[in-house]
Structure 1
Amino acid sequence: MESKKFLVCSEEENMRLDVFLSKCFQDKSRSYIQNVIEYKLVEVNGKAKKSNYKIKSGDNIEITIPDPVNLNIQSEDIPLDILYEDKDVIVVNKPQGMIVHPAPGVYEGTLVNALLNHCRDLSGINGVTRPGIVHRIDKDTSGILVVAKNDNSHNKLAKQLKDHSMTREYIALVEGVVKLDEGTVDEPIARHPKDKIKMAVCVNGKRAITHYKVIKRFKNNTLIKCILETGRTHQIRVHMAYIGHPLVGDPVYGYKKQRFKLGGQLLHAEKLGFIHPATGKYIEFETEIPDYFKKVIKVLDN
């Protein structure tokens, strides 16, 4: 591993940590730098910081660049919460904090690493780093994913995603009291024009449709169900922030001051339904929100 140190000057004051390091390493992508930061390989004055940390004049920054690795992704003995499995598909309940597949700078600890330890027969359509991965959910979002064990299954599941026939329902806790009992956000989403790690509602974006229903209202928050008609990156997070109700705990689109100390947004992929690629029959799976989510609801109830 290669280690480098930088001293922040006054001209660089208030720059984001990931932006600063991206300028220092112009041969590395910003997402790569963010992954290195995520794995606590960057320290500011001897302490690990997040990507959005605003650097200060005089800060001492040390970054450790991981050695290049062979993209023959290794299996890892990581426990999996498997809801269903047969010779064609695996349905798993992903925990918050787990990345779905390897990416530059992140080659361990992902769902793919765990899947490869469980079984080697995964579809190869998405290449060596994404075997079997038909769709994704964010690292800090928990919930249900379906994984394809062969190319035929992958193609049929991907088609259902494309034609929006797959059932995908999420539970989310948002800031503020949502007035309408139900509604639809139909706004296009694209990469944020000024911040590459964010998505945003943009007129030139791809169409994105999120239906929502109120489950329960609290004094300053609302528990809602979100039903995806499309599946854009960060769709629910972007849409709810757009209508003035960002997700509780969301480090990117949420409030700067959070009431609860959380590992990320309170968003859970509760239900997934699809036509089985081999049998042609519709199957559906559902899971409860995780314990940390329940604890926040209990606090709000009290």
Structure 2
Amino acid sequence: MSEGMGDDTRSEVYAELAGVGPYGVRPGHALITMVEPHPGHEYAYNRWYEDDHYYAGAMAMPWMYAGRRWVATRDLQELRYPEKSAVAQPVTAGCYISTYWITDGRYADHMKWTVGINKRLNRDGRVYQDRTHVFTAFQDHEATVYRDGAAGPRDYHALDHPYAGLVVEVIDADGPEQRAELLEWLRTKHLPKRLAGSAAAMVTVFRPTPLPGDRMTYVKQVEGVDTRLTLLWFLEEDPRERWESAFAGLDAAVVESGLGRVELVAPFIPTVPGTDRYVDQLR
């Protein structure tokens, strides 16, 4: 039996904690983590993440209430741009991405648990080491823009609704003031125009937050805390269906705005939980 797994679970504390603090459904925060398994370790990594880490290292934690894994097969990786990305080097790195929603106002509480549980998982040999974190960050929710207004799923449904694809877009502004202008332009002009008549039902916009000093050493500190925005486009069809017309020019639109530069546009499709589907299509 692993150390610390005795009968004392301090169960009385759970009843006390349930009666205090925010407990809404809004996704006030997110964990977005894009990872590259090392060559030759794709199957083992996938099984570890699906069979253990997705639950013990994520969904079982307090206030992390929704999650979804996504995968980029080789043909999807080759659609990514720009070629020289500040997020992924090379731009094809990071064939898996996981997205999780955290209850608004519960970020600090969740972080205390996640640091503690990851130390325990490492101590117990339950962390798969043959992988590289390409883009991992906790993020604060800034906006959600919907294609259909009040109709359809809300952002808190996004990781449970059976969306057929995800496009991750990362934009860097020149500074904090420019990021505020960029966010306003995205929210009121650019995204409503792009969403109209498209296969994307919504776009959620987040800004990264710094990781705690006692984070795991294999996760690098977050870049662009004051300047970066992360956009998640939730698609009702495979991103390959209308890639050229819908997503190939996102960088040009941002450049034309004069408010920032696109550092990553990357399409994904959902994994099939409990299977190794797509693992043989990563390379």
Q: Which bin holds the TM-score, normalised by the shorter protein?
A: under 0.3
| Larger Rg over CA atoms | 1
TM-score w.r.t. structure 1 length?
Answer: 0.27
Which fold has the larger relative contact order, with Cα–Cα distance below 8 Å and residues 6 or more apart in sequence?
2
TM-score w.r.t. structure 2 length?
Answer: 0.28
